[in-house]
Amino acid sequence: MKTKLLLSISLLALFTTACETEELVQPEVKSDVELTSTSNVTSVDSYRDNLLVEQRFEGSIISPFNKQVYTSHGYALSSAVARTGSKSVRLELRKADNKVRSEILLPAETSSNRWYGFSTYLPSGYWQNSMTSDTWDIIAQWHAMEDSGEAARFPPIALVVSKGRLTAVLYWATRSINTNSTISGKKVFDLGPVIKDKWIDFVFHINFSHQSDGVFDIWVNGTKAVSFRGPNSYNDKAYPYFKTGIYKRDWGSITKRALFVDDIRTAGGGATYADVAPSGSGGTTTPPKEEDEVVTSGQKLTSFTLINADTDRDIMTISNGATIDLSNIGTRNLNVRANTYPATVSSVGFALSGAHSLTTTQTGKPYALFGDSGGNYNVWRAVTGSFTLKGTPYTGSNKSGTAGTPLAVTFKIVE
Q: How far apart are CA 92 and CA 73, in angstroms?
A: 6
Q: How far apart are CA 326 and CA 387, in angstroms?
A: 15
Which pLDDT score, from 0 to 100, does residue 317 have?
86
* The CATH fold of domain 300-414: Immunoglobulin-like (2.60.40)
Considering only 12-21, 26-35, 73-82, 228-237, which range has the smallest mean pLDDT? 26-35
Task: State whether the Cα torsion 142-28-109-277 is positive or negative.
Answer: negative
Please say if the pLDDT value at position 207 is more than 70: yes
> In the structure, what pLDDT confidence band is assigned to residue 291 with cuts at 50, 70 and 90?
very low
- Higher-pLDDT residue of 37 and 324 is 324
Strand-pairing partners, residue 340, are: 301
Q: How far apart are CA 139 and CA 128, in angstroms?
A: 15
DSSP-based three-state secondary structure for 182: helix
As its CATH architecture, domain 4-276 has Sandwich (2.60)
CB 326 within 8 A of CB 318: no
- Could you check whether 4-276 and 300-414 share the same CATH topology? no
Domain coordinates of the chain in residue numbers? 4-276, 300-414
Which residues touch 373 (CB under 8 Å, ≥6 apart)? Answer: none
Which pLDDT score, from 0 to 100, does residue 282 have?
31
* pLDDT tens track for 125-160: 999 887 665 679 999 999 999 888 888 889 999 999
Smallest CA-to-CA distance from 278 within 37, 65, 115, 97 is with: 115
- DSSP letters along 96-162, please? GG--SEEEEEPPPPSSSEEEEEEEEE--GGG------TT--EEEEEEE--PPTTPPP---SEEEEEE
Model-wide pTM > 0.75: no
CA distances from 88 to 83, 104, 149, 226, 260 (A): 7, 13, 38, 27, 6
Strand-pairing partners, residue 256, are: 94
DSSP-based three-state secondary structure for 267: strand
CB 278 within 8 A of CB 84: yes
Please say if the pLDDT value at position 29 is more than 70: no
